Amino acid sequence: MLDKFKAKFVEESMDNLQDLEESLFLLEKDLENKELIERIFRAMHSLKGGGAMFGFNHLSDFTHHLETIFDWVRNNKLAVTSDLITLTFSAIDHIKNLIKTGDLTDEQELKGHNQFILRLQSVLSDSASTLSVHSTVDSQNINDEISESKTYLINFIPQEELLQNGTNPLYLLDDIHALGEAISIAYTHKVPSLELIDITANYCLWQILLNTSESLNEIKDVFIFVEDECELQIDLIADSNILQKPECIEIIKKARKGNSLLKIEDFQSLSQLKPSSQELESGEEKKKITAIKEHKISSIRVASHKIDELVTLVSELVTIQAQLSLYSESNEDPVIVSLSENIQKLSRQLRENAFDISLIPLQSELMRFQRLVRDLSKDQGKDIDFVIEGGDLELDKNIIEHLTDPLLHILRNSIDHGIELPEERISSGKSPKGTILFKAFHSGANVIIEVSDDGKGMDLEYIRQKAISKEIVDQNAVLTDKEVLDLLFVSGFSTKDAVSDVSGRGVGMDVVRRKIANIRGEVSIDTEKGKGTTITIRLPLTLSIIDGLLVKVGANQYVIPISAIDKIHALDPSQLKKSFNNVVVLDKEQIPYIDLRKVFNAPEVEHDVIQMVMIKAEDRITGVIVDSVIGEYQTVVKPLGRYLKKQEILSGATIMGDGTLAMVVDTSRLLMERKSKKVAG
Amino acid sequence: MTENFNVDFKENNGQLDIALSGQLTINSIKKITEDIKSHIKNPKSVSVSVKDVDNIDLTFIQLLQSIKNSGKKNGYEVSFSMKLPEDLSALLKNAGFSNYIN
Amino acid sequence: MLTEIKQQFYKETLQELKNISSDLSAQVIDADRKSLLVDRIFSVSHQLSGTGPMLGFDMSSKISRKLEKTFYEIRSGEKEVSLQLLWQTKRTIDFMIDCITEENQTQVPQQ
């Protein structure tokens, strides 16, 4: 039981820390921003309190000192400096550690912890000597006393839940009376008879005529804690006290008798107000009420495994639905066919909905990148502006989880090897401050993430020479620029000893590509010597369901993702026979092709027409030959078990309507496989 | 927990007298209501008298109104008499319920 | 363990609510004390609305959320503190005191 709370605390604290880091970044740009300081203070305060409650004593103690520092800051006893921000950043790292591991037991760690606390304390003692206490100038608002009193008509229409939420409206009405002279009209006509009444619900509403010299704000404040639970409208109806006028008393009597609500117009003859100002005031009030109403809960927190579960269930539903539509087609019962179509429509909507829910904004990870850029560039004496575009873009959380490491790697490369030192940059005619642009955007069914720097770029010739020396390519091989850059992704091109390598990138790019490929993404590099480098990552929107083309190769069925397919061509078998080096000529264009029958060791059967699926990748078309095309198929991809991991060109499996298995072809791996064979030999 | 309110019923020839006292607020209102509902069977008239009140709130006023509405619907007379301490009486008056007090 | 946490939380919260309520009853609240009071009200309502639900103080945390929201706005300068507001705050705090006491009594002790 307690563990559940603890886990919740840990999760919330991590959120809190993220907010804290974000605020610190902003504060660094705007050192005196009160709101940010307050946010930081609050985050620390909650960490401290929660920590103590859930047995994180070191955490609580540590944040207490940090909280004190920011308490001084917000009370103008201490100024925010860049040093303080740096100290706070490292304190946040320490806090993260304390949350993950709980109280420290290792002696060495404890020593470090205590030293850190001393450092925090010294911040306060250092500043205490130069302390200048600003007395907070209180803006005690002495109301501009209006000598003349005004008369207002207040409409107070509470919701049914008002009483259950603990409000006693009688008190509020009493408080209104305390503001001046008032007459309340209670409307009870909505109270049901005994058989129907929910006795704790509120059925009453009120109109109050109030003559007061207090300000409108003072009146509104009576309802401050019920504003979400009622409709409230306050209209000025007269610039003087009209309550005792006989006409007014008559109007009120009529309203009480007839249970008919008072309208502002009823008082027109009594008031000397110009209608325009009257409208203005009530209009403003209405606007405020709607603004409050819109302020309701707009998001809820759900455990991520629940979302995984939902997605799995939806995936199952999609599978069953596929079975149903196969059955209905073979059955030709019109009722079943139309039912099946409806279910298909619904499950498609449901699927889209569920996936939408499982998307989270990239923003959540960006903080780590910002930290990396900030810390590394400070370490290396580089001045780097980290610009983020499209941080609000949303991605499947499973993709984001796998994306962080490769992206950190890419950024690290940019800082280590891309961006030059300020003096170097000046001498090559650039501004001393380098820029790394992180850009995320949608492109069709894909998400593109670009990381570009304006650093020194890569030396292609150097890469080529290195590949030759490592015997990755033949000395005489003619390579395009793109092919040279692709060498960076070949495993073994760069090793750990290449870290100091001046030519730059390549450090672990093979790992980056592999990790991105695991989430069905692609990586490419563009570089210009002296100008900079751009790494582009292309990702699918989601992992678990794809629209595919079902094809047959030999006795087996395979699924090729629709997103990769350009079109389907029918070939005359003779064209293939004439082909040389696996290239066919179509519309005068040379198209390389892969025969899946050979890849999967299926017997070659003679067909009248050969089906070739054209796959588009990296601006190139490659044909894939299959025995037959069955049709489009929406499919749930299940990860392959370990025993099939070796089959790299398959990314997963899917269960067909009739219970048989179909493999999902990973087109980018398929093409890569083909290319690497060519490069190698 | 001992009840901090009191409901007494007296029936005489179709005339139902209900006497209420104590805490007449949201915390006890459900029990009071159930009690009253179970006693109002088919009366000719109902007379509710309220005195020795410790506290009162809107739920009780709504209960009185509901009894009145039921009477209108089912054809019996409903009358109230309510004696309240000064502070509670002022509270109800300020809330626009002076017609319930006498 | 949980019961201990709960009891401590209850005791501390109740005490702070009572202190605030009695401070709010003061005839005159000067500027310094007012800003301190605003902080304390925010703090206790923030604490109660965040932790209360975990410990079963559902109603009182629900109410404290109203205070938290309002006093957050006050602290960030979006809202002024009027006498009426302090008065309504006292009403709300007094109700919270009743509420949290009752919730503490009626809850079945957990495991």
Query: Residues of A numbered 183-202 whose beta carbons fall under 8 angstroms of chain B's beta carbons: which are they?
Result: 183-186, 188, 191-195, 197, 199-200, 202
Residues A271, A238 contacting (CB under 8 angstroms)? yes
Tell me, what's the pLDDT at C79?
83
pLDDT in tens, A249-274: 888 888 888 778 888 878 877 765 54
Mean pLDDT of chain B: 90
Chain A residues inside the 8 Å CB shell of C66 = 225, 228
Chain C 13-42, residues with CB within 8 Å of chain A CB atoms? 31-32, 34-35
Mean pLDDT value of segment C35-49: 89
pLDDT at A176: 92
**What is the CATH number for B56?**
3.30.750.24
Q: Which pLDDT score is estimated for A534?
A: 93
Hey, are the CB atoms on B33 and A194 less than 8 Å from each other?
A: yes
Measured between CA atoms, the residue of chain B closest to residue A203 is: B62
Q: Which two tokens stand for residue A72?
A: 């001084």
The more confidently predicted of residues A78 and A648 is: A78
Q: How confident is the model at residue A659 (pLDDT cuts 50, 70, 90)?
A: low
Across all residues in chain A, what is the average pLDDT?
79
* Domains, in order of start, for chain C: 2-100 (1.20.120.160)
**pLDDT tens string A452-501:** 999 988 888 888 888 888 777 888 888 888 888 888 887 667 644 444 43
Report how far residue B48's alpha carbon sits from residue B39's, in angstroms, rounded to the nearest whole number: 13
Task: Give the ranges where A358-471 is alpha helix by DSSP (H).
Answer: 363-380, 397-413, 422-427, 460-469
Kindly tell me if the per-residue pLDDT of B58 is higher than 90: yes
Considering the entire predicted model, what is its pTM? Answer: 0.43
Give the mean model confidence (pLDDT) for residues C44-62. Answer: 87
* pLDDT at residue A294 in the model: 40
Q: Is the pLDDT of residue A649 over 90?
A: no
Label residue A216 by pLDDT band (50, 70, 90). confident
C-alpha to C-alpha distances, A640 to A320, A540, C86, nearest whole angstrom? 20, 19, 64
Q: What is the CATH number that goes with domain A150-291?
A: 3.30.70
pLDDT for A431 beyond 80: yes
Q: What percent of chain A has pLDDT over 90?
A: 10
Nearest CB partner across the interface for C35, out of A138, A175, A221:
A138
**Nearest chain A CA: its distance from C73 CA (Å):** 11
Interface check B96 vs A, CB under 8 A: yes
Work out the minimum CA distance from A198 to partner chain B, whole angstroms.
Answer: 9
- Chain B residues with CB-CB distance to A200 below 8 A: 26, 29-30, 59
Distance, in Å, from the CA atom of A245 to the CA atom of A237, rounded to the nearest integer, reads: 14
- Look at residue C14 in the predicted model and tell me its pLDDT: 93
pLDDT, tens digit, 9 for 90 and up, residues A34-73: 888 888 888 888 888 778 777 788 888 899 889 888 888 8
Query: How many percent of chain B have pLDDT more than 70?
Result: 97
Q: CB pairs below 8 Å between A and B: how many?
A: 81
The answer, for C2 touching chain A at a CB cutoff of 8 Å, is yes
Number of structural domains in chain B: 1
Best of B94, B97, B98, B101 to disrupt the A interface (most A CBs within 10 Å) is B94
- A53 closest CB neighbour out of C9, C84, C111: C9
Q: Which of residues 199-238 of A touch B (CB under 8 A)?
A: 199-200, 202-204, 206, 208
Structure confidence at residue A678 (pLDDT): 46
Asked if A625 and A596 touch (Cβ cutoff 8 Å), the reply is yes
User: In the prediction, which pLDDT does A2 show?
Assistant: 57
Q: Provide the shortest C-alpha distance from residue B87 to chain A (in Å).
A: 11
Q: Average of pLDDT values for A614-625?
A: 81
Instruction: Give pLDDT, residue A618.
Output: 62
Domain extents for chain A? 2-129, 150-291, 304-344, 360-540, 545-680
Neighbours of chain C (3+ CB pairs under 8 A): A
Nearest chain B residue to A184 by CA distance is B96
pLDDT at A680: 33
Count of beta carbons in the 10 Å neighbourhood of residue C5: 18
Query: How many contacts (CB atoms, under 8 Å) link A and C?
Result: 77
Of B66, B70, B95, the CB nearest to A184: B95
Instruction: Give the integer Cα–Cα distance in Å for A16 and A51.
Output: 12
Please report which confidence band the pLDDT of residue C107 belongs to, taking 50, 70 and 90 as the band edges: low
Structure confidence at residue A133 (pLDDT):
37
Fold of A545-680: SH3 type barrels. (2.30.30)
Q: Could you tell me what percent of chain A has a pLDDT over 70?
A: 84
- Res A287 pLDDT > 60: no
User: Does the structure show a pLDDT above 70 at C77?
Assistant: yes
Q: How confident is the model at residue A314 (pLDDT cuts 50, 70, 90)?
A: confident
pLDDT at site B92: 93
With cut-offs at 50, 70 and 90, classify the pLDDT of residue A114. Answer: confident
Whether residue A371 has pLDDT greater than 50: yes
Query: Which segment, A39-48, B70-79, C51-60, is predicted with the most confidence on average?
Result: B70-79
Compute the average pLDDT of residues A379-406.
84
The answer on pLDDT for B23 being more than 80 is yes
Chain A residue whose CA is closest to B40: A194
Rounded Cα distance, A69 and A79, in Å: 10
Q: How confident is the model at residue A679 (pLDDT cuts 50, 70, 90)?
A: very low
* The domain defined by A360-540 carries CATH number 3.40.50.280: no
By the 10 Å C-beta count (0-12 exposed, 13-18 middle, 19+ buried), A373 is classed as buried
pLDDT number for residue A535 = 93
Is A2-129 in CATH node 1.20.120.160? yes
The whole-angstrom distance between C82's CA and the closest CA on chain A is 7
A182 close to B (CB below 8 A): yes
Structural contact between residues A651 and A666, judged by C-beta atoms closer than 8 angstroms: yes
Provide the terminal-to-terminal Cα distance of chain A, rounded to the nearest Å: 62
Residue B70 to residue A193, Cβ atoms within 8 A: yes
Cα distance between residue A113 and residue A91, in whole Å: 10
φ/ψ of A516, rounded to 5, equals -70, -40
Mean pLDDT value across residues A543-563: 81
Q: Is the ipTM of this complex over 0.90?
A: yes
Q: Which chain A residues have a beta carbon less than 8 Å from that of B36?
A: 194
Residues of A with CB under 8 A from a CB of C: 1-2, 5, 8, 34-35, 38, 42, 45-46, 49-50, 53-54, 136, 138-141, 165-166, 168, 171, 175, 179, 214, 217-219, 221-222, 224-225, 228
Two structure tokens written together for A84: 């303080």
DSSP E strand stretches across B13-98: 15-24, 45-56, 77-82
Q: For residue A224, give the nearest of C46, C47, C85 by CB distance.
A: C85
End-to-end CA distance of chain C: 9
Assign A132 a pLDDT band (cuts: 50, 70, 90): very low
